[in-house]
Amino acid sequence: MRYWDSPAPYCLQTSLRILVRGKQDPTIRLGPGIAWLTFLTPEGPATLNLREEPVPAPGARVRASAWGPGAECALASVPALLGEQDDWSEFDDDAFLATLPRMVTETRRRNLSLRLPSTGRIMDTLIPVVLEQKVTVLEAYYAWRYLVTRYGVDAPGPAPAGMKAAPAPETWRRIPSWDWHQARVDHSRSTTILRACSQASALQRLADAPLGEDLTAKLCSVPGIGVWSAAEITQRTHGAPDSVSVGDYHLAAYVGAALTGRRTDDAGMLKLLEPWQGHRQRVVRMIMLSGYRKPTYGPKLAPMDHRRR
């Protein structure tokens, strides 16, 4: 057991929500003041429990407990996971705040306890990101839940029932074609995942690489991984404060409507966010947390069932 202390406010639920893949994600359970995570480490599977502890304001304390062969590795990952290196001081400077829309500044004022997490687990992030390519989020969540539940590793220790650590790369590579179909995963996405798993060791070394164009290029060197996927990965593995998910089905229109009242495309979104270069992901997160909902028009992206293809 270890403690993580912060002189600033901190909220587990708000900060770690970006890691959750649906309400029934078998790898994470998140609630007010508490989080359970289970994952593989170089030493084996681990279950990590995080609990907020009461301390005088404005500080925060999180108690971390871990079980399983990978318990020590899991505890060592806690500071980065909780966003210890995520520095909002430049964003919170009065001069910078003065450049931001009221929606963003008001949301930040209400969410001073948000930090961007850095998991450092490339494959555990890459695979669900690939599952989300060009399908509805519900389809992607179903596929992740189905495959992890079927092939994952039982969570050690007193984890909530049904929790599993995501499979190791070699296990993903042994999943038969009919189970990809049962999970409603098309050939393109399953092939990308298998290709990435064949390079898992090299990809995992990118966890220690600095953010920048070189990291993005190395992720995109895997066929099937593009700039959208690379952005979604680094937002979680590296706590990337400037990473924008260009190519997202909804994001550009959402950001455009929130900032100008009009939808836009990727180029328009990047132009709108350009004044806040270096903190564009922070701005996007604040817009998402603001509660803003853009008007909806036309048909939604329809779910696709690949099981009979």
Could you report the per-residue pLDDT of 134-177, keeping only the tens digit for each? Answer: 999 999 999 999 999 999 999 999 999 999 999 999 999 999 99
> In this predicted structure, what is the pLDDT of residue 309?
53
Residue 309 in domain: no
9 band by pLDDT with thresholds 50, 70 and 90: very high
Give the tens place of pLDDT for each residue, 181-211: 999 999 999 999 999 999 999 999 999 999 9
* Helix axis angle, 280-289 to 251-260, nearest 10°: 80
> In this predicted structure, what is the pLDDT of residue 259?
97
Judge whether 256 and 101 are in contact, CB under 8 Å. no
> In this predicted structure, what is the pLDDT of residue 88?
98
Give the tens place of pLDDT for each residue, 236-288: 999 999 999 999 999 999 999 999 999 999 999 999 999 999 999 999 999 99
Distance CA(287)–CA(236), nearest Å, equals 18
Mean pLDDT computed over 124-141 = 97
Q: Inform me whether the pLDDT recorded for 178 exceeds 60.
A: yes
Residue 52 in domain: yes
SS (H, E, C) 235-255: HHHCCCCCCCCCCCCCHHHHH
Quote the radius of gyration of the chain (alpha carbons, Å). Answer: 19
Classify residue 48 by its DSSP letter: E
> In this predicted structure, what is the pLDDT of residue 296?
67
Residue 103 in domain: no
| Residue numbers of the domain that contains 6 | 2-87
Residue 80 in domain: yes
Residue 127 in domain: no
Judge whether 255 and 273 are in contact, CB under 8 Å. yes
Residue 23 in domain: yes
Mean pLDDT computed over 113-128 = 98
For the chain, how many structural domains are there in total? 1
Calculate the CA dihedral of residues 8, 9, 12, 17 and round it to 10 degrees.
-100
Residue 257 in domain: no
User: Which of these, 77, 89, 85, lies nearest to 50 by C-alpha position?
Assistant: 77
Q: Inform me whether the pLDDT recorded for 301 exceeds 70.
A: no
Task: Kindly state the tokens that stand for 282.
Answer: 């922070």
Q: CA triplet 136, 137, 141: central angle to 5 degrees?
A: 125
User: Which of these, 21, 35, 27, 15, lies nearest to 82 by C-alpha position?
Assistant: 15
Residue 6 in domain: yes
Task: Kindly state the tokens that stand for 47.
Answer: 């279950």
